[in-house]
Structure 1
Amino acid sequence: MANVSVAAEWQLLYNRYYRKPELYRMTWKHIDLSRNKLHSESALRKLRIFNCAGVPLSETVWKNPGGRLIGMAWTDDQTLACVVQDGTVYQYNIHAEPLRPNISMGKECFEQNVVDCVFWGNGVVCITESNQLFCIPDFKNPKPCKLAGPGIEEPPLCMAVIEPQYTMSGNVEVLLAVGEAYVLAVEGTGFNNWALRSYVVRCRRWLFLVTSALPPEQLSWCGMDTVLLYWDDMLLMMGPRGDPVTYLYDEPIILVPECDGVRILSNSSMEFLQRVPDSTESIFKIGSTSPAALLYDALDHFDRQSAKADENLRLIRSSLPEAVEACIDAAVGFGSNFQRDRIQEMCKILRVLNAVSTMRLASLLVYNNISCYTICSDWWLINAHQHLLALRISEYLGMNQEVVIMHWSCSKITASLAIPDVTLLEILLDKLKLCKGISYAAVAAHADKMARKLAALLVEHEPRSSKQVCSSFVEHRRRDTALSKATESGDTDLVYLVLFHIWQKRPALEFFGMIQARTMARDLFTIYARCYKHEFLKDFFLSNGQLQEVAFLLWKESWDLGRNPMASKGSPLHGPRIKLIEKAQHLFSETKEHTFESKAAEEHAKLLRSDYKAGHFVDSSISDTIGHVLSWETIELLKVKTEFKVSEKRWYWLKVFALATIRDWDALEKFSKEKRPPIGYRPFVEACIEADEKGEALKYIPKLADPRERAESYARIGMAKEAADAASQAKDGELLGRLKLTFSQNAAASSIFDTLRDRLSFQGVS
């Protein structure tokens, strides 16, 4: 029933068929793969880049210092990464142009010498002469790190990588073959939780171990459960079951694994070994009577005007949609119960795949889904400077053309140094206008890197004001002006973008001076740094004399340290905690306004040192600690209060936040009415807001004596009108401005604050 010639060259491995078609005859001249090895030495080494058909794309003289070339591979974004002996990673595009900056594995790796490396996706793991492992998880954000030491004296027999997306930890795992059938799996980075364990693992589903006396020259997975072993002139394909399949070669080959098979490169050809897809097997397997095979056979009879075509169709009428899906090209003209759009879509994509697989481009793409095509095809084509073809393909498939036009524009700027800026601007605008919403600012940024005045001309055509701010900032270095424009816009994302750029480019004191007088920029920086950059924030507070803020940061660090399991009483971290609190206490004592905090810090340090009952759970979680406190008898509470000389104000603070933490709101309200709180009602408000109980906070906000505090508290729970009323009582224009920023997304609320500010200005109140 099936086409015998198609299946005649298939090989059966247990119960699965494999095929090895020749994709291209190599067109290169005088290339011998046995002489073009990584570790070979010659007087003048060259880096040559070819496409899959052996068509030369580019070449350059290899001038990189750093010793022997250890390994090289293409990353996901078509960048060639090359690792040399001293741990430096050099990167090239497909035109053999070096990309900067180079990446270093660090001083320790440099001193030990790299002897082997394994690449994956956008990362690499290297092993040194002293058997230490170093890793770059992502070339796009290169942060070299040292992995856990495997603790072995002899070099491993081989090394493999389990990529982060297949590990429980989300970090790369390195497998090292040590001795006889012994595998070490090394995972984890950093000094917090290095892990090293010994076991035999299964990579995805299988781990393949070779124990032969003559190790193969190359090993490669072919799909998910088949492995290829290559010795000199023999290629062996083995699976978990069944007898192996042997292929013989009279010339050297190189195995290049792909997601669904293996490319086999030789001096003369490029082949692709893969498992025959189920749909193809169902159609062409010898003797197949599947609906897909019958449908294909019906097409053959239809072409020969045989009545047997209709007979085949009647046999598979109920299974026709499935048969159409398996051999969609043959279904045209017969089917009546399947998605015709699917046929049109597939025909389009087949035309595209055939176009990019020509000898000139030799791009090997496999259709899995349209997103896979977009990622692979467009990037390959634009990196090869096939912009026109990429543009036409994007248009043909109805895809976004912005990526293609952006890349073309940047490439045009780089290659057109002799063209005047005004002339080049007209050329660029003619193409940029083809894509609505394209970022002129991004193209301007590239022009600025090339030190061209074209950048300023392009910025003028950017329709979005936020992009203009960024471009003005990046292109002309008018950082102060850009920061002012960004804050005036009220766009917090834009302010952060400018802040981060200035932060990276300018000295700390200059940066501090720029943000000090700008309330919005200063506040946004403080919010970010409080979460991620404590040391930098301390420097900022010290630069403007805010000692109490530094003290609060130190105190927070002590609490963060207390959450470490190693920070229990008597541990090496216990002493540093106390020192941090003592530093905070000293800074608090420098200001008269923070006597309470100074005393509290002093007592906190004392509590950590004490042998009292409190000392046994001072490092517990907040909930556990409060549970202990509230479960004590009154005599125990009074004993602690007396021993630590807890003031009435401090006592109120503790009880307010304790009750809020356990969410006993009735008890909190009753406590507030026992007598007028010596700490006022602001702690009650703070405790409720922190617990996200706005309704409870409303019980205490009206009791705040200071209208400014009332206004800010109302604003924190989103009550714009009440905040405005309280602020108008305070007659504070600056407060109204801050509140307006808080409600910047609420036009009606912003209008209220503008009206109040105008009224105050008219009355002569600043």
Structure 2
Amino acid sequence: MRSAKADEDIALIRSNLDEAVDTCVKAAGHEYSIHWQKQLLRAASFGKSVLDLYNSDDFVDMCETLRVLNAARFYEVGMPLSYEQYIRLTPEKLVSRLINRQEYLLALRISEYLRLPADRIYVAWASQKVRTSNDSEDAICRLIVQKLHGKRGVSFEEIARAAYDEGRASLATELLNYEPRAGKQVPLLLSMKEDSIALDKAIESGDTDLIFHVLLHMKKKLPLASFFRAINSRPVASALVEASAADRDTELLKDLYYQDDRRLDGSNLLLSEALSMPPSDTDPKIAKLKQASKLLADSKEHALHRTLLDESQRLLKFQEGLEKDFPSQSQAQSQGQAPSQQTQGFLGLSLNETIFKLYRLNHAKRAQRLINDFKVPERTWHFVRLRAYVASRFWTEIESIASTKRSPIGWEPYFNALLAAGNSRLASTFIPKCTGVHLQERMEMWVKCGMPVKAGEEAVKARNLRAVEELRDRNVDDVGVYRELERLAQGMGGRK
């Protein structure tokens, strides 16, 4: 090739040398004989070495293609593909055909040579292994794991499915332990009827959607008691069932609480249902409360809860009696009256609200009966009565209270409530009773009632000349008040 004759031949075709090189490359691709392939490629290589500028990509691609074609054409493989057939088939399809012929080693080498993904080759080999091997299942599993260790993209789920289809369920379960994607593990485990393992795998993944999928499958398949036993030892699953049932299936939630002997939770659920009922549904509401109380019947730990539930029933019955004695809001509207605070019903009110309403309606005896029946603390009902009397402007009743010697809540709340209601005259009658109040605060109480002279007299009783003088200076604009306070200051020896 390095002779002078070669140089003369090159000179003859110099103008068409690039075309000659391309023709040799293409001819090599259509040639079946390896000897002539090499000759044509050598000629093309010599020709392109003479050219100053030539793109060698087609030459390199053809060398790779011929190497693959020759491997497939080898007599032990027996796939005499032409160049055009290979191009139409594509390398990926060629690898697939080799896998179908169980030529796994050649398929793997071609994939590595052409930089193609090899995961499906490993999966196909392992699947065939579990179908045909006579070794023990443990030995097969160890071999497959050893061969596929560190191989990217390998799906153990497909291999496990092949094992399960061959009736090797325990091998399939063992192989699934090496599948990193829970979304691949769980569906196969469910189809294998390994529900408990599927639930554990879903919980390990932390995917709530996957956990719900398994739980729904198990709920449809298992009796309710078995379903509850399955989730009872799995706090995550139990919590998800409880959260879901709270919004969608309260009956399932009741069964869950009953199965787990969670009496307080079951009682609270019935209480919530009772509270969500309309106020007029008294009988169903009382029935729910009775059921809630019955659940706690044998529990000393929750005796207080049961007592409160029983009291709620008694209160509802008491309110039902009040509804018969007083027209409710709905009755007033049916009679063409405008609804007001006085015509609103008692049903659904709390104990304090019921007492408040009775005092507002000036039914103190009934309110006192309710107080005694439910043992309402003295301070509590005194505050409620004060708010009710002030709201209804029952000044006479408040004046009668002022004549008593003591008040469990003190007298300052009366002063503040009356002053806020605008009755400063009546509020002032409680100031002398506020004996535990500091002088300055006591004087401010008189001032708030519009009685600064009384405030001055308080300072005189306390022999506080400075307080009288400060009060006098604050009322310079009111001549009459100023003179009275000046007289009080002078009486204590103050300066003019």
Q: Higher RCO, 1 or 2 (CA under 8 Å, sep at least 6)?
A: 1
The TM-score, its normalising length taken from structure 1, stands at 0.25
From the CA coordinates, give the structure whose radius of gyration is larger.
Answer: 2
More strand by share: 1
More helix by share: 2
